Amino acid sequence: MSALTGLSTPTAIIDVPRMRRNIARMQSRMDTMHVHFRPHIKTSKSEPVTAMQLAAGARGITVSTLLEAERFFAAGITDILYAVGMVGSKLPQAMALRRRGCNLKIITDSLASAETIVRFGAENDMRFEVWIEIDSDGHRSGIKPDREVLLDVGRLLHEGGMLLGGVMTHAGASYDLDVPEQLIAMAEQERKACVDAAERLRGAGLPCAAVSVGSTPTALSARSFEGVTEVRAGVYVFFDLVMHNIGVCAMDEIALSVLTTVIGHQEEKGWAIVDAGWMAMSRDRGTQKQKQDFGYGQVCDVDGVPIAGYVLSGANQEHGILSLRDGVDGDIAERFPIGTQLRILPNHACATGAQYGEYQALGEDGGVETWPRLNGW
């Protein structure tokens, strides 16, 4: 009998041995390449997971919300990068953390944001450490490394009394790739953009100690981190089907799954109905535009072994539709009687994890522990 038998479904399962191997793999790579590693904890948002990352050799953490910063600082972690652009309404919360001893770094990518930070800092006798976000791929936020505004922002922060701590970037466009040579090229593009920005700031007489890059695909593909001081990555800790399609993990390295139960059938349609809908899996269909579409997730047996030909093809709020892929035959009702427990591997581990307030951590010995997960901002 599986250790998961009897758990209420749907529930989020962490395969702890897989996760430990994922952590060791990334940390070993960073150690071999002689660069510090600052994991992004937005994927797990769980203290036991983060503790394992730090124990493996990570230095500091990256967060996506100030609530994460508050909770992990309360747990004893002081070196924290808040990697979302800063706005004035959040500066009091950031200031409170710094005044309590948190070495919180904040980021900006515009003169307007930098002006707000400088003005608030002057009014409240607070010297924030600010990093400038660099656009290395046109994916989302940041300043292009060759733009004059980069130096304008740097001067404004430095002359306005803030600590210009460094530059950072995230090559989110790497998620659109799946060829090793393309990933290597994107990693180099990311590295060069951030290093070039740092060198321009230093050439203008401005301080720039930190040069921070990273995404899971580029962290695992880069051939050089010359000029980089630290690397960040997040989803590597669990991996997911998007990462599998990109080519940076095997199916049996995905450490997060959703335990679900078969609750009915539509035999004429070839469906089994499970109790994991989009509220359990999330609405993320990130594999839809990739080389293999996994619907809402890959179906596995209760031990986490993928079952070829079956996919979670549809989802309503609390109902999931399990079906055979086109061209595959089978009696789904006979294969999966009502009451059958299955596990579904997610498209996007961050989005699926966000549906839950806790994880069930399945250990090497088969035992299960409940690990809390943080939600909110």
pTM for the model stands at 0.97
Residues 6 or more apart whose Cβ sits within 8 Å of residue 270: 323, 324, 332
Instruction: Kindly report the average pLDDT of the chain as a whole number.
Output: 97
- pLDDT for 35 equals 98
Sheet of strand 230-231: strand arrangement = 36-37, 230-231, 210-213, 163-169, 129-134, 103-108, 79-85, 61-63
**Where does the pLDDT of residue 329 fall: very low under 50, low under 70, confident under 90, or very high at 90 and above?**
confident
Instruction: Give residue 349's Cα distance to chain centre.
Output: 8
User: How many Å apart are CA 314 and CA 227, to the nearest integer?
Assistant: 46
- pLDDT for 115 equals 98
Q: Judge whether 64 and 57 are in contact, CB under 8 Å.
A: no
pLDDT at 313 over 80: yes
- pLDDT for 282 equals 98
Backbone angle region of 135, left / alpha / beta, with phi > 0 → left and psi within -120 to 50 → alpha: beta
Q: E-assigned strands of 186-269? A: 210-213, 230-231, 256-266
pLDDT at 25 over 70: yes
Q: Return the structure tokens found at 330.
A: 């089978």
**Where does the pLDDT of residue 327 fall: very low under 50, low under 70, confident under 90, or very high at 90 and above?**
low
- DSSP state, 213? E
Q: What is the pLDDT of residues 116-130, one digit of tens each?
A: 999 999 999 999 999
User: How many Å apart are CA 150 and CA 82, to the nearest integer?
Assistant: 20
User: How many Å apart are CA 81 and CA 94, to the nearest integer?
Assistant: 11
Mean pLDDT of 146-164: 98
**Where does the pLDDT of residue 1 fall: very low under 50, low under 70, confident under 90, or very high at 90 and above?**
low
- Full set of structural domains in the chain with CATH: 33-237 (3.20.20.10), 255-372 (2.40.37.20)
Mean pLDDT of 356-367: 96
Backbone angle region of 142, left / alpha / beta, with phi > 0 → left and psi within -120 to 50 → alpha: left
DSSP characters over 310-329 = EEEEEE-SS-EEEEEPTT--
Mean pLDDT of 56-83: 98
Residues 246/81/56/300 CA torsion (nearest 10 deg): -40
Residues 6 or more apart whose Cβ sits within 8 Å of residue 125: none
**Where does the pLDDT of residue 351 fall: very low under 50, low under 70, confident under 90, or very high at 90 and above?**
very high
pLDDT at 188 over 70: yes
pLDDT at 339 over 90: yes
Q: What is the pLDDT of residues 243-266, one digit of tens each?
A: 999 999 999 999 999 999 999 999
- pLDDT for 99 equals 98
Q: What is the pLDDT of residues 194-240, one digit of tens each?
A: 999 999 999 999 999 999 999 999 999 999 999 999 999 999 999 99
